[in-house]
Amino acid sequence: MSAPVALLDARVLTAEGFVTGLAVLMRDGRIADLLAEDAIPADAMRRDLRGAWLLPGFIDAQVNGGGGVLFNNTTTVEAIRAIAQAHRRFGTTGLLPTLISDDAAVMECAIAATREAIAQAVPGVLGIHLEGPYIAPARKGTHDAGKFRVPDADEVRMATSLDNGVTLLTLAPEQVPADTIRAMVERGAIVVAGHTAATYEQVRGGIDAGITGFTHLYNAMSPLQGREPGAVGAALEDDGCWCGVIVDGVHVHPASLRVALAAKPRGKVFLVTDAMPPVGADDPSYELYGETITAIDGVVRNAAGALAGSALDMATAVHNSVHLLGLPLEEAARMASTYPAEFLGLGASHGRIAPGYRADLVALDEDLRVVDTWIGGIGIRD
């Protein structure tokens, strides 16, 4: 058993809110205890955080790339490692490398690479997000419609074959038979609606078949209207479904996000970045489906003008949730950690600062900039 490490002089986010005078004791990758600073064991190594905000590490369910790497272009363990390392600088301690619509062979490689990355304990890798190719041409965004298809039984088995991590599948419920959605769920996948032109009734049918959430709410889905609630209306109405949101001030107007927060039960809206390779990289450009795309003033669009992911990181998403949406920091932090952990079925081990939980943590300064992160109790500067 290794010597414990005590993090002290921080404003610690607990289930009751922020608490001062509390030390977080980490041992063997877990949070061993929360205790008064004057009760720290004599054998503990001490780390003074000088009044920083100490939060559960951020969990991002939608990460297409980072550090100059796009997962679709390089489906390897090394690529996943580079992406995770780039995002860790911004407080992300858990993520799903995300593959947008592609051929079955590429999907197989991506799943195999994710399986191996988890087996190698690449820091922060929790599973995989397959965003497409079972989506709607009318709401394709930057996806290549030439890749779209309806999965047969063999492809369902392939798409849900990751056996050591989370599988998140984004699909359009009007494009995929309800029985196929049920089969995906029965095989352990978390299935969500996205890139969909579905009617309200079609989305409700998908929810009945096992859909439990919505990918980047408002974006690439049928809107809420007076006589046709669409996918957005179904998402806002259903108390059980989760909604990922991109809070960059570009993908969704802040007022629309406040409407979603008012409509949904607390804890059912969580932050995602939909990040592309410019995050954590010096080069603002990257290749997608053979097209060069460049982030301009932090906005990523393809030649047709469609948003092509984002240049957002999770620390900025938390900052924006406080300053654009007017949320308290503790709620913005939970939207980046506790709620996505629960959405992914990891709420018993991730997303909280409590004894027994993984020691995945992020410290922010007064301006909400990342000071340090810990994954499994190991700090970025250790």
Helix (H, G, I), strand (E, B) or coil at 76: coil
- Cα separation, 86 vs 348, whole angstroms: 26
d(CA 95, CA 89): 13
**175 burial type by CB count under 10 A (0-12 exposed, 13-18 middle, 19+ buried):** buried
The two three-digit tokens of residue 183, written as one number: 């089969």
- Active-site annotation holder among 60, 274, 313, 372: 274
C-alpha of 21 from chain center: 31
| Positive or negative: CA dihedral 138, 63, 161, 77 | positive
DSSP secondary structure string for all residues of 120-176: TT-TTB-EEEEE-SSS-GGG-TTS-GGG-----HHHHHHHT---SSEEEEEE-TTTS
Report the 10 Å Cβ neighbour count for 48: 11
Distance CA 342, CA 349 (A): 10
Sequence-distant (6+) residues with CB within 8 A of 369 are: 315
What are the structure tokens assigned to 65, written together?
A: 């790339």
d(CA 84, CA 91): 11
- Count CB-CB contacts under 10 A for residue 192: 27
C-alpha to C-alpha distance for 192 and 206, rounded to whole angstroms: 9
How many whole angstroms separate alpha carbon 115 and alpha carbon 379?
24
Cα dist. 354→69, 70, 202, 242, 345 in Å?
A: 34, 34, 41, 24, 17
Query: Within 13 Å of residue 354, how many CA atoms lie on the same side as its CB?
Result: 11
313 is catalytic: no
Do residues 72 and 103 make contact, with C-beta atoms less than 8 angstroms apart? no
Q: Which residues are catalytic?
A: 274
